[in-house]
């Protein structure tokens, strides 16, 4: 199924005015300029497009000459940012058509050549649905790898020989399963079969790039669609060896707590924390996921209001709301005092009442918290003073 007039009409209607202006200007000067990548893909599948990326036959220095306001964002990759107005929304990235030499390190090509035909630029891209070009000035689709048909069929297919493409750049296997989840597409069988033999390349990819992909996968409507593929193909064992993970749980919870849902079976807070930091998740992400994993287990072991409040309080107030997103049993106690800071009495109050400073004071506060966890109605200054003296 080639591109239909409906596909063309969709694209024509979706291209923003500043993108049209940039393309027209390049075309008037005799260059070809096309939209390519995520925006074209998303418009054709009826979704809201993100950034519009342009590719052109013009060389970077020609682009710079043609436009009044440009930023040399990534000249070594042939990328120039054209500033078409105020604010970052007005920034349009234009990349000169490029071909890639051999990959020897599984991460980036040894050389990049400019001045290749569009067909060659599209041939270096990962998946056919990401290799559809739309010539904005001529209102024509250029789709040498059948990406439009794959898009309509809901299929992800590597451009060219899957195992070769995945071996060149080890991140592509993660992109493939991420897009499977994000777009809710199937992996074409040969494309899937190309993943396992390319895993040694994935092992060489920087952990930042790997965790970026995992983060995007977990943000998909149904992450399990990609996680199950990642497990079946050996991706998970490559990036998170020796861990048992819950591939279905992330689907059921809010995106903000999916990392914890995935790692819940690991159970050991420290191990979760170290694993995530080793994969270059931020300290905040790792700390939160690890605390929540501990919280999930504590909450599920709780048998009454007291043990439930203790469970939620033990991981700290900062994570309490997130914990309730993972296990609704935590919900009813969220409004109760759960941590020392929330006691109606402070160490200072106790010292003013005659208690000496020191370790015993800390222990007293902890025991008062324990009383309040058992019975939240005790949390008034007067009652706690009485309890402290008693």
Interface contacts to ligand ATP, rule CB under 6 A: 37-38, 50, 53, 125-126, 130-131, 169, 171-172, 175
Provide, rounded to whole angstroms, the least separation between the CB of residue 284 and ligand ATP.
Answer: 23
Residue 178 binding: pick among Mg ion, ligand ATP, none (C-beta 5-8 Å cut-off by kind): none
Q: Give the length of the chain.
A: 390
The closest alpha carbon to 36, from 120, 161, 162, belongs to 120
Which residue's Cβ lies closest to Mg ion?
A: 38
Evaluate whether 3 touches 143 at the Cβ level (below 8 Å): yes
34 close to 27: Cβ distance less than 8 angstroms: no
Residue count, binding to Mg ion (CB under 5 A) = 1
Query: Which residue, 38, 37, 33, 36, is CA-closest to 59?
Result: 33
Distance CA 100, CA 169 (A): 12
Site for Mg ion in 12-71 (CB under 5 A): 38
Choose among ligand ATP, Mg ion, none what residue 287 binds, the Cβ cut-off being 5 to 8 Å by kind.
Answer: none
Planar angle of CA 104, 105, 106, nearest 5 degrees: 100
**Could you tell me the smallest distance in angstroms from the CB atom of residue 319 to Mg ion?**
32
Instruction: State in angstroms the smallest separation of the CB of 191 from ligand ATP.
Output: 13
Nearer to ligand ATP, 209 or 329 (CB): 209
With CB cut-offs between 5 and 8 Å by kind, which of Mg ion, ligand ATP, none does residue 126 bind? Answer: ligand ATP
Shortest reach from residue 197's CB to ligand ATP, in Å = 17
Q: How far apart are CA 53 and CA 95, in angstroms?
A: 8
* Residue 323 interaction partner, one of Mg ion, ligand ATP, none, beta carbon < 5-8 Å per kind: none
Q: Which residue is nearest to ligand ATP (CB)?
A: 38
Residue 125 interacting partner from Mg ion, ligand ATP, none (CB closer than 5 to 8 Å by kind):
ligand ATP
Nearer to Mg ion by Cβ, of 179 and 263: the residue is: 179
**CB of 50 vs ligand ATP, minimal distance in Å:** 5
Output 38 or 160, the one with its CB closest to Mg ion: 38
CB of 189 to ligand ATP, least distance (A): 20
Collapsing DSSP states into helix, strand and coil, what is residue 335?
coil
Q: What residues have CB less than 8 Å from 21, skipping those under 6 apart?
A: 84
- Residue 265 tokens read as 């079976």
Residue 133 and residue 136: Cα distance in Å, rounded? Answer: 9
Which residue, 125 or 310, has its beta carbon nearer to Mg ion?
125
Return the number of other C-beta atoms located less than 10 Å from residue 6's C-beta. 9
Contact 224, 250 (CB under 8 A): yes
Q: Which residues of the shown chain bind Mg ion in the complex (CB under 5 A)?
A: 38
């Amino acid at each position: 199924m080639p591109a239909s007039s409906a596909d063309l009409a969709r694209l024509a209607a979706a291209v923003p005015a500043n993108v049209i202006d940039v393309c027209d200007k390049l075309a008037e000067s005799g260059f070809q300029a096309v939209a390519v990548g995520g925006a074209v893909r998303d418009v054709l599948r009826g979704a809201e497009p993100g950034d519009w990326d342009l590719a052109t036959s013009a060389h970077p220095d020609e682009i710079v000459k043609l436009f009044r306001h440009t930023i040399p964002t990534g000249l070594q990759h042939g990328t120039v940012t054209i500033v078409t107005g105020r604010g970052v929304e007005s920034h349009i990235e234009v990349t000169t058509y490029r071909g890639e030499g051999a990959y020897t390190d599984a991460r980036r090509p040894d050389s990049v050549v400019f001045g290749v035909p569009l067909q060659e630029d599209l041939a270096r891209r990962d998946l056919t649905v990401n290799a559809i070009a739309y010539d904005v000035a001529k209102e024509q689709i250029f789709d040498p790898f059948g990406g439009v048909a794959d898009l309509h069929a809901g299929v992800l297919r590597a451009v060219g020989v899957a195992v070769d493409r995945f071996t060149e750049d080890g991140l592509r296997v993660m992109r493939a399963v991420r897009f499977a989840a994000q777009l809710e597409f199937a992996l074409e069988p040969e494309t899937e079969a190309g993943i396992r033999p390319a895993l040694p390349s994935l092992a060489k990819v920087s952990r930042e790039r790997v965790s970026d992909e995992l983060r995007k996968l977990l943000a998909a409507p149904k992450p399990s669609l990609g996680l199950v593929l990642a497990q079946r193909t050996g991706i998970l064992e490559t990036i998170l060896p020796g861990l048992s993970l819950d591939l279905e749980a992330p689907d059921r919870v809010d995106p903000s707590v999916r990392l914890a849902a995935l790692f819940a079976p690991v159970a050991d807070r420290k191990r979760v924390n170290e694993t995530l930091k080793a994969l270059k998740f931020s300290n905040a992400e790792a700390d939160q996921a690890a605390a929540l994993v501990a919280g999930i287990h504590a909450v599920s072991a709780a048998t009454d209001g007291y043990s439930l409040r203790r469970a939620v309080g033990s991981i700290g107030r900062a994570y309490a709301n997130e914990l309730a997103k993972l296990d609704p049993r935590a919900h009813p106690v969220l409004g109760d005092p759960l941590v020392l800071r929330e006691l109606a009495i402070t160490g200072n109050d106790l010292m003013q009442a005659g208690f000496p400073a020191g370790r015993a004071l800390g222990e007293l506060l902890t025991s008062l918290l324990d009383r309040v966890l058992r019975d939240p109605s005790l949390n008034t200054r007067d009652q706690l003073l009485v309890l402290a003296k008693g």
